[in-house]
Structure 1
Amino acid sequence: MKKVVFDGNIPIIRSALLGPLVRVLEQSGLDADGLLAEFGMSRRLLSNPYEIIPFSRYAAAFQQLAQLLDEPSLGLRLGSELQLTELGPAGLVFLSSPNLRTAIRNFSRALASWQSGTICELHSEGEWATWVYRVSNHAIWPRQQDSDYTLSTMCNMIRFVLGAEWNPVEVHFEHAERPNSRAYARIFRCVVRFEQPFNGVMLRKHDLDAPLRTADVKMANMMERHAADLIEQASLASSLVDQVRDLIQRRLAHERLSLPEIASTLGVSNRTLQRYLTAEGTSVRQIVREVRMQQVASLESRDGLTNGSIAQAVGYADATVLWRAKRRWGAE
């Protein structure tokens, strides 16, 4: 089996995260080797937990496995059963953090060492805190099982450190409601909304200050460093334009990004960033426009989203501002 070489543009996932899927496949009586080969994988390839797999293969395999098993709630179930150690540095840094706020933020950063091409952030604006998860590549669709799996995993992790009785305020999914809606109610034990602009878990703000009994400063520091090393190794070939685009995709809905702010975040001077983008024939303004156009097109292709919710998801104040922007795009 040919090894995949990451080029900085293809969203990837570490093979360790496929462990639960492989176990289910082996227990099902299905042709495990045949199904893995269909998606360009093998047991030998996956035996190395650090092996890199294109995220699109993983998402497609997850969807097909749920269909073959006739288990539409597969992602929900696996997320609720996952052992935190299977998440590598991200799981261990979550466990060893001093409180839930730090745990979620550290986890969100460290998760990039185990998979790329996903937006994963904690926001505290408004009445509730929200942990957001979204796959940034709009071409990877459907991806319901991955979304179900990830949000179920987050709630499972929080219950592990705060107690089995903990529940989120609400849970949001970008995909449409499924016939197995009772499974969502059973797993999350709260209001679950579908056809939303993003996948997210809403938490009470006071929960974020809860201390964790599993806190371990030395372990947290070590796992953060390990995660940073893995992220650096995987992103060596990523261009500065890609990094700017990724930053804009992650923060577009929540911040008004300027060139100085982006340069500061990426650790380069304003002049260096401006010169590089000009040489590549682009600019921060152009990349923001391209990202917005792509996200709007993707969100408008789904049923159930209002123009107001789409506007907010791409960083506009309301539907009127979005309408004016679309008129400008059409005239250019």
Structure 2
Amino acid sequence: MFENGYFVRAMGIRGLTDGLRATYGITPEQLGLPASVFEHPMTLIPVSVLNQYYENIEQVTGDPDAVLNLVSKLNIEQLGSISRWFFSGHDLASTIRRINFGITCIQSGAYLSGEVVGPIIKWTYRNNSISAPAKAHDGVRVANFMCNVIKRYLGEGFTPDRVCIPGTQQNKIKYERYFGCAIEWGHNQTEVWLPNKVRLAGSKVPSLPAEKLSMSFADLDDYLNMPDSQDHMKVLYEVVNYSRHFGLPTLARVSELLGLSEQQLQRRLQATGLNFTSVVGYVLSGEAVKQIALGIPLEQVARSLGYRNMTSFSRMFKKYRGLTPKQYLANYQMA
């Protein structure tokens, strides 16, 4: 039903965004992303937006190597509570297994795996939802993450035997100097090669106390709330939810994010007995309920959903929930 059915969490690119501001003085809005997207690390961003984001970084900075400059300064522990689970493993092999399994909670369409080839382990990353112009930037970002994970166990002096990256960059020597090894460009996936014998190496970084490894139910719910690309209604829900960061969701914006014309989206909704207005009402009222449960003031909830006044927000909410926001809040507080 929808070709663009993949997402990345805001936490996955927050480091790049912060780095752009600090290094180049560039704000998220200059790259086409409202700042409100990054107020919550779990926000789901369509991968079609990520693809354009990579291209915008190069265009706005005027630096084709900007992504490399930015990822070199990233902290791999900026992924919230899931990073504590990733790095609580007792050796490199267990950490790689956890990351391979857990990556889809952060970015759908992304697949990490390990392959033993004689004395070499190839840690590989594949993501077919990344567009051709963005593949090199995305490959550099993930290869840097992989290498930083490995360095936790093998020390800062670790250099991979080889790095393979999709796409190509002109200043190849700069990338070889950064990674400290030969780089093969034009691959269909990102690969970091390391000796098989080091897979059981212990962490060089002190482990976190066990009591700090727990994850709240809210965090767990958010991490598991990553749409399957074939769950078309869930994909549509999250695309509409993302578009509210620009104001009230419009047919034009949602259609564009899904890679469809307005007419195509309308026809596909009609085929399932839905219309765009009802979908938007369902999504916004659902998000309002979540925010009310978190204790967010009603006026702030209305603004976050794109409403400029409480009257319009209350009218929508009552239509889809049967109560005004104030009535719903009162019932919730009494429960």
Which TM class, normalised by the smaller chain length? 0.5 to 0.7
Q: Displacement of 1:237 after TM fit?
A: 8.1
Match of 2:147 among 149, 155, 159: 155
Match of 1:205 among 188, 193, 196: 196
Whether contact under 8 Å (1:8, 1:235) holds in the other structure is: no
**RMSD in angstroms over aligned alpha carbons?**
3.1
What is the correspondence of 1:120-269 to structure 2 with a 5 Å cutoff? 120-137=112-129, 139=131, 141-176=133-168, 178-213=169-204, 214-215=206-207, 218=210, 222=214, 229-235=221-227, 238-239=230-231
**1:198 corresponds to which letter in structure 2?**
Q
For 1:110 and 1:224, the matched residues in 2 are separated by: 16
Relative distance call for 1:163 and 1:226 in structure 2 (3 A) is farther
- Quick check: 1:21 aligned with 2:10? no
TM-score (norm: length of structure 2): 0.60
- Quick check: 1:67 aligned with 2:67? no
Rg (Cα) greater in structure: 2
The aligned counterpart of 1:46 is: 38
The aligned counterpart of 1:275 is: none
* Secondary structure of residue in 1 paired with 2:21: helix
For 1:183 and 1:223, the matched residues in 2 are separated by: 39
The aligned counterpart of 2:70 is: 78
For 2:137 and 2:92, the matched residues in 1 are separated by: 26
* Secondary structure of residue in 1 paired with 2:22: helix
For 1:66 and 1:13, the matched residues in 2 are separated by: 20
Whether contact under 8 Å (2:42, 2:222) holds in the other structure is: no
**1:181 corresponds to which letter in structure 2?**
K
Gaps of at least 5 residues in structure 2 are 233-335
Relative distance call for 1:110 and 1:225 in structure 2 (3 A) is farther
Q: Displacement of 1:180 after TM fit?
A: 1.1
Relative distance call for 1:207 and 1:235 in structure 2 (3 A) is same
* Secondary structure of residue in 1 paired with 2:72: helix
Q: Displacement of 1:161 after TM fit?
A: 3.4
**1:212 corresponds to which letter in structure 2?**
S
Q: Displacement of 1:27 after TM fit?
A: 3.3
Q: Displacement of 1:99 after TM fit?
A: 0.4
> Share of identical aligned residues, percent?
21
Matched residue pairs, number?
231
> Cα deviation per residue 1:182-204 (whole Å; 9 max; x = unaligned)?
22112111111111232100110
For 1:31 and 1:138, the matched residues in 2 are separated by: 23
Whether contact under 8 Å (1:170, 1:190) holds in the other structure is: yes
The aligned counterpart of 1:56 is: 48
**2:99 corresponds to which letter in structure 1?**
F
Relative distance call for 1:225 and 1:183 in structure 2 (3 A) is farther
Relative distance call for 1:80 and 1:25 in structure 2 (3 A) is closer
Gaps of at least 5 residues in structure 1 are 1-6, 241-332
For 1:25 and 1:237, the matched residues in 2 are separated by: 30
Whether contact under 8 Å (1:98, 1:216) holds in the other structure is: no
Match of 2:7 among 3, 9, 12: 12
* Secondary structure of residue in 2 paired with 1:98: coil
The aligned counterpart of 2:251 is: none
Q: Displacement of 1:80 after TM fit?
A: 2.5
**2:124 corresponds to which letter in structure 1?**
V
Relative distance call for 1:134 and 1:141 in structure 2 (3 A) is farther
For 1:173 and 1:225, the matched residues in 2 are separated by: 37
For 1:220 and 1:133, the matched residues in 2 are separated by: 29
TM-score (norm: length of structure 1): 0.61
For 1:67 and 1:17, the matched residues in 2 are separated by: 21
**1:109 corresponds to which letter in structure 2?**
F
Match of 1:119 among 106, 111, 119: 111
